[in-house]
Each structure stands twice: as C-alpha cells, then as structure tokens.
C-alpha cells in the first residue's frame, strides 16, 4: 500500500460517438468525474474499455485524450491497456504509452495461442519490456484467464520479477480466485504490486498485501471503493464496507458483459450520453437497465456523492 501506484482505479469505459468512433472530447470529462469521486487513477482500454476492439492508431488517440485530465487533476494516474496478440503491436503501443507520459501499462498475454507455455510467455514479455519499457517504467501483467484463455502462473511471475525487478511491477488479477490472491501474497509479499479486478475481494486481497483494485464497477461505485481502500490502509474494520461493495458488484454481475451495462447506467444515473459499444458487443436498452437502476438506487444515494 506504500507503492506510489497503489490505490483505486476504474477500468474505464470508452466513450463512443454514434458512428462508433472514439469520442475523444468525452474521455477527459469522464476521467474528471472519476477523479472527483475518489479514484486515484484509471485504466484506459482494458476489457471494460473494449481495448481489443480498437486499432493501434485509435488506441494512441485515446491515450492522448485521456492525458488531458491532468489539466485539472495533475496527480491523476493513468494506465494504458497495451496487450494484443501481436508482439510488434504490443511493443509499439507500450513504448508509445510511456513516451506520451502514462504512469504504467497493463498488458494481456497474447490471447490467441491458448496453449502457450511459460517459456513462450516469458520470451514475449521479455521482448516487450526490453524494447518498450523504460528503466523507471512499470508494466503490469493482466491475468484474466477466464476471458483471455491465457494467464500468469506463479512460476512465470517469479521469472519475470527476477529478470526485470523494477520494470515488471506486478499484475492485475482478474482471475476471481481468492486462492490465487492468497498465493500471490504468500509468495511475493509486498514485492509484487497486485491489483485485484474483483471488487468483492478487495479487503481479502489487501489482507494478502495487494495494493488496491482496478475494476469495472469503479465507474459507478468508486466512492465506496475508496472508503474501503482507506479503511484497509488504516487497519480499520472493513466488514460493513466490503459487504456494501460486494452487494453492488453482485447486482452488476447479473448484467454481464460490463461495457454496455455500465454505459447505460452512467447515462441513467449520472446523465452522461448513452454511449454505444462496438460489435460484437450489443447495446443495452433503457427498458432492460431500469430494474438494475432501481436495485442500485439505495446504494448510490447513500454516501456515494462527489468527493
């Protein structure tokens, strides 16, 4: 929790225009909203940001747009999703992200060859780090085997940390596996910066020495996540806060995938435009989202204001 990048991050949605092109003007406005609601930072173009649906050129445009939030929130941290199945594209996006001034990158393993070995994955990440990550840069592996089909074993993480002790900073753990969260803490302690991707496990993960979270629901519930993170940091009783966060997460999990649901809820609850999603995702109608708004209403009106 003492790491300079520790904290609460939103895996932010990507605003789109009706023609499905990135709404570059809306991106800093959304990030300003998140900064005012307690987020330490945001991940651009993760799974929730529909990262794989954008070309490399579009990703760079989105990175540039996101950096504009620092005009009003100079300390707001930005992470860039740079993982692709292509070694050269991943290296290029990673280098560009750091050249632009991103604080870190979050990088999926190449997600087409699902039988890739630890040796192959080590070679992939070694090449990306050597070519693209500056000596003071931080790359986080994105561990999401349920979606990517490829993940990070403890053995692979150990090799990468030993080979690149500064540049390979840690992982975003979206395995939704509490046993893996415990294993990370037992094996690495505070040497590997871990962000849980599961709001329901934030207190558990921080008990195992994780540094915080990067989650989709943070687009909506970041004030509660920030209060929970602060309580964990201060050694306070987190049971009620964690129960509250878990309740909200479970409501949202009934409406997967997250990108169209969160965009519909940001429109219904907070008045943002109803941004579309890119195919193969499908937009959610206001009729379908209305019961979710009702379920969340009590949570979102109890202390979840700006701050």
- What per-residue confidence (pLDDT) applies to 306? 44
Residue ranges per structural domain of the chain: 7-237
How close are the terminal C-alpha atoms of the chain, in Å?
Answer: 21
Backbone conformation region of residue 39, classed left if phi is above 0, alpha if psi is from -120 to 50, else beta? beta
Annotated catalytic residue, options 47, 90, 107, 215: 47
d(CA 97, CA 64): 9
Q: Is 14 a catalytic residue?
A: no
d(CA 157, CA 171): 9
Q: Which CATH number fits domain 7-237: 3.30.930.10, 3.40.50.11810, 3.40.50.970, 3.20.20.70?
A: 3.20.20.70
Annotated catalytic residue, options 14, 96, 111, 142: 142
Point out which residues pair with 193 in neighbouring strands: 170
* Cis ω before 280 (30° cut-off from 0): yes
Q: Is 161 a catalytic residue?
A: no
Q: What is the CA radius of gyration of the chain?
A: 18
- What per-residue confidence (pLDDT) applies to 301? 59
Q: Is 172 a catalytic residue?
A: yes
- What per-residue confidence (pLDDT) applies to 307? 37
Phi, psi of 174, deg, nearest 5: -110, 30
Annotated catalytic residue, options 112, 117, 288, 301: 112
**How many of the other CB atoms lie within 10 Å of CB of 175?**
21
Q: Is 47 a catalytic residue?
A: yes
- What per-residue confidence (pLDDT) applies to 297? 85
- What per-residue confidence (pLDDT) applies to 305? 45
CA distances from 27 to 17, 80, 104, 119 (A): 11, 14, 18, 38
Helix axes 118-132 and 87-100, enclosed angle (nearest 10): 40
pLDDT in tens for each of the 307 residues of the chain? 689 999 999 999 999 999 999 999 999 999 999 999 999 999 999 999 999 999 999 999 999 999 999 999 999 999 999 999 999 999 999 999 999 999 999 999 999 999 999 999 999 999 999 999 999 999 999 999 999 999 999 999 999 999 999 999 999 999 999 999 999 999 999 999 999 999 999 999 999 999 999 999 999 999 999 999 999 999 999 999 999 999 999 999 999 999 999 999 999 999 999 999 999 999 999 899 999 999 998 786 554 444 3
d(CA 250, CA 243): 11
Annotated catalytic residue, options 84, 90, 96, 172: 172
d(CA 176, CA 234): 25
């Amino acid at each position: 929790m003492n790491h300079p990048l520790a904290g609460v991050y939103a895996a932010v949605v990507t605003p789109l225009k009706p023609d499905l092109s990135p709404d570059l003007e809306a991106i800093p406005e959304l990030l300003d909203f998140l900064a005012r609601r307690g987020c330490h930072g945001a991940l651009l173009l993760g799974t929730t940001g529909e990262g794989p649906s954008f070309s490399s050129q579009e990703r760079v445009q989105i990175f540039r747009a996101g950096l504009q939030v620092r005009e009003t929130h100079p300390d707001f941290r930005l992470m860039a999703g740079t993982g692709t199945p292509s070694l050269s594209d991943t290296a290029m996006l990673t280098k560009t992200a750091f050249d632009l001034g991103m604080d870190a990158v979050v990088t999926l393993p190449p997600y087409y060859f699902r039988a890739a070995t630890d040796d192959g994955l080590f070679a992939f990440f070694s090449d990306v780090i050597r070519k693209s990550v500056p000596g003071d840069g931080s790359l986080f592996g994105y561990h999401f085997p349920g979606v990517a089909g490829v993940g990070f074993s403890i053995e692979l993480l150990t090799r990468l940390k030993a080979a690149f002790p500064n540049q390979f900073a840690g992982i975003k753990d979206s395995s939704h596996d509490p046993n893996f969260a415990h294993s990370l803490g037992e094996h690495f302690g505070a040497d590997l910066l871990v962000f849980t991707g599961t709001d329901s496990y934030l207190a558990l993960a921080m008990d195992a020495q994780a540094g915080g979270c990067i989650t989709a629901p943070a687009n909506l519930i970041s004030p509660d996540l920030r209060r929970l993170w602060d309580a964990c940091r201060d050694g306070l009783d987190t049971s009620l806060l964690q129960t509250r966060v878990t309740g909200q997460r479970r409501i949202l999990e009934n409406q997967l995938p997250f990108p169209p649901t969160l965009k519909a809820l940001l429109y219904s609850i907070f008045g943002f435009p109803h941004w579309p999603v890119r195919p193969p995702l499908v937009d959610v109608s206001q009729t379908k989202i209305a019961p979710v708004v009702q379920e969340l209403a009590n949570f979102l009106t109890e202390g979840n204001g700006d701050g």
